[in-house]
Amino acid sequence: MTEPTTAAVTQSLTAPMPSPAGWLRFRNWALRTPFIQLIVLIALSAVLVALVPAFIARPQAAIAVLVLASLLALAAMGQTLVVILGGLDLAIIGYVTFGAMIASNATSRLGWPVPIALLVVLLVCGGVGAGVGWLCHRFRVQPLVVTLGVGVMLAGGSMFLANGDYNGQPPQELKSLAQLSGTTFGLPVPPVIPIVIVLGVLIWVVLAKTSAGRKLYATGINPRAAELTRINATAVWASVFALSGALAGVAGMLIAAFGSGWSQSIGEPYLFSGLAAVLVGGTTFGSINGSFTRTALGAVILTVLSTIIVSQGLTESQSRIVYGLIILGVVALYGRERHVRDRF
Amino acid sequence: MTRILRFLQRHAWAFASLLALVLLAINLLVSPSFLAPDRLPATLATLAPFVLVGFASTPSILSGGIDISVGPLATFINCLFVAVLLPSGLGDWYSAIPILLIVAGAIGTVTGLLVTVARLHPVVASTGVLFILIGLATTISRAPVSAPPNWSDGLAQSYGWMPGAAITIGVVALAWFLLRRTTYVRNLLATGESDVSAFGSGVNVTAVRILAYTIGGIFAGVAGIALSALLQSSQSSLATMYALLGLAAAVLGGTALGGGKGGLLGTFFGAVVIYLLQQLLTAIGVQPSLVQFAYGLVLVVGVVLGATLLSPRLTRSRA
């Protein structure tokens, strides 16, 4: 009988695990990529076309679905980053309301040109978001509560500034960005779709190819380890929440342009459906597999789904029920936590 | 000064009660008839849904999770009672109360099972349930349905000298008081503080957690009844507002969102603070939009104060 040599023991500890084969390998791959979402989307689109054949004859209908989906995806873009960081941004409600209010009222009542309005929205929402992120990380406060409070403050503040005036109209150049009659370089596609795609590619580049993206994932997965590798976690939190605010504010402007105006409850559906899009896409709290690609897929899935539901004569409230069931189902596939027994 | 601070740190409810006293004094200055005996039942009836939804969100937070679906659950119970039970002849108190509480408790249990057995993140699980409940409530009553005269009316006024709302709040407070006599609440706090340690000490963490959500659901059912008593109609549109208010009351009352610290007394004072603030701002003629702004501000300031000045643990929890 021979004693194992030190070298053999060391090698057995440092050698990589054998990569799994067969079904296990496929399962790991399917969970790492948005494979399931893609399958679901294709299936749902087939169902939609089968139920409503008009979708083939009139591309306008498909473009309408895509415009709704891209507005939802834009509102959920910042939320995706926040969820990767392990937080939650409920202030989306306030950012969207503020953006919509500026886009509708400041432009028509005060005569602000669109670039000024955009700048104000970016500065205010981004600044508020940065403050929230700093506060949450510096004092170890749950972002859930702080963003909740800030969202209510922003929504209330927007209504106070508007002074009960809900009749403002966004200017024509803003409307042509989001409304269905808009065209991009002669194509019958409203510019909002390419805008969201370009932003999505940018986010992908930042998340996957730059050190900023690595820092974001690292902080989300293990804040303590991230700080020990000298990542400035406070800066990461502040910039991610700032980005979330700025993007949601811009989404609010485009949502107001799409709907030709605003109301006090304009932000609410985008908060909850946006969160649903993030979760259905398969991004969970502090996950390495989270990305905006997933959220965009989630947004399209949800929009196609609610189109199907509404086309079958059911109501918006029934699509809420289906949303809830889908969130629970998808997250049960992806984001299950470990049992206490296994953490003991 | 340090002694006051230490007292505030030790008793989670003390800060909220102090704030409530100050606001009560200002309220009395602005409108001296605020606490007049003939206005008391109506005042308490308006306060009851705030307090009860806050109560409902407390057990799950104490267990280390969170249930953001209790507000929508309360409005769902309200819609179920006014738009389904009353028209179908099941609206008598001896049939309606058990049905409503069992339904509410069952929905709470489902959320608890999703959190513990399916092991979903509490925020995700309760968001899913929130969607389902809001959908169900708007399906039952798309537009507000007004209720015919029924027994719940008395809960918003008074029985003899006893304000009706004192019954709804009192029943829940009594239930919690009795629970505190058992080991359950101690196990609950231990689980919230550190589920791993509690598990190691032989606490059945899963059962404790599920029960916390069930209790929250039942409390939300009582909140739904109090809401029906107050409104006498079904209002599915209040769901998100109550989802926010319940959380705000619990957090202002010193219940730590990480779990393991706090209780119903703090939540009570937290809800009172929110209510008094709303009353005060309305009484001095502030616009509703600014009242909303003030809600948010109080919530942010409260939670930051709670995490810094009033928490002895800040230095320890730095990474």
CB contact A342 to B (< 8 Å):
no
SS (H, E, C) B260-302: CCCCHHHHHHHHHHHHHHHHHHHHCCCCHHHHHHHHHHHHHHH
CA distance A85 to B33: 50
Residue B169 · residue B51 · CB < 8 Å: yes
Which of A139, A275, A335 is opposite residue B307, by nearest beta carbon?
A: A139
Checking if the pLDDT of B312 tops 70, the result is no
Asked whether the beta carbons of residue B120 and residue A152 sit closer than 8 angstroms, the reply is: no
List B158's β-bridge partners, or say none: B163
Checking if the pLDDT of B286 tops 60, the result is yes
Asked whether the beta carbons of residue A155 and residue B66 sit closer than 8 angstroms, the reply is: no
Which tens digit of pLDDT belongs to each residue from B166-175? 888 999 999 9
- The pLDDT, as a whole number, for residue B302 is 79
The DSSP output letter for B33 is G
CB contact A230 to B (< 8 Å):
no
- The pLDDT, as a whole number, for residue A188 is 76
Which tens digit of pLDDT belongs to each residue from B198-209? 999 999 999 999
Which of A145, A279, A338 is opposite residue B257, by nearest beta carbon?
A: A145
Please identify every stretch of chain A with a pLDDT value under 50, giving residue numbers as ranges.
none
Q: CA Rg, chain A, in Å?
A: 22
Residue A280 · residue A193 · CB < 8 Å: no
Which tens digit of pLDDT belongs to each residue from B258-281? 777 888 898 999 999 888 888 888
Which tens digit of pLDDT belongs to each residue from A254-304? 999 888 888 888 888 888 889 889 988 888 887 788 889 999 999 999 999
CA distance A123 to B194: 41
Which of B258, B287, B319 is opposite residue A227, by nearest beta carbon?
A: B319
Please report the ipTM that was assigned to this predicted complex. 0.82
- The 10 Å Cβ neighbour count of residue A246 is 24
List B99's β-bridge partners, or say none: none
Q: Would you tell me which residues 277-316 of chain A have a C-beta closer than 8 angstroms to some C-beta of chain B?
A: 279, 284-285, 315-316
Q: Which amino acid is at A114?
A: V
Residues of B in contact with A227 (CB under 8 A): 319
Asked whether the beta carbons of residue A88 and residue B123 sit closer than 8 angstroms, the reply is: yes
CA distance A120 to A93: 18
State how far residue B24 is from chain A, nearest Cα, in angstroms.
23
* DSSP track, A125-157: HHHHHHHHHHHHHHTT--HHHHHHHHHHHHHHH
Shortest CA distance from B114: residue in chain A: A328
* H helical segments located in chain A: 6-14, 22-32, 35-51, 54-57, 59-84, 92-101, 107-109, 114-138, 143-162, 172-178, 192-209, 211-221, 223-228, 233-259, 268-281, 292-311, 316-334, 340-343
Q: Is B233 exposed, middle or buried (0-12, 13-18, 19+ CB in 10 A)?
A: middle
Shortest CA distance from B306: residue in chain A: A141
Kindly state the greatest CA–CA separation across chain A.
91
CB contact A336 to B (< 8 Å):
yes
A184 phi/psi in degrees, rounded to 5: -115, 115
Checking if the pLDDT of B227 tops 70, the result is yes
Note the pTM of the prediction, 2 decimals: 0.86
Question: Measured between alpha carbons, how far is residue B242 from residues A271, A287, B214, B293, B317 in Å?
Answer: 16, 30, 19, 16, 31
Q: Which amino acid is at A343?
A: R
CB contact A159 to B (< 8 Å):
yes
CA distance A12 to A42: 44
CB contact A268 to B (< 8 Å):
yes
Asked whether the beta carbons of residue A317 and residue B129 sit closer than 8 angstroms, the reply is: no
Residues of A in contact with B307 (CB under 8 A): 139-141
The answer for residues whose C-beta is within 8 angstroms of residue A141's C-beta and 6 or more apart is A135, B303, B304, B307
Which tens digit of pLDDT belongs to each residue from B18-77? 888 988 888 888 888 777 777 888 888 888 998 999 999 999 999 988 898 999 999 999
* Per-residue pLDDT band at B318 (split at 50, 70, 90): very low
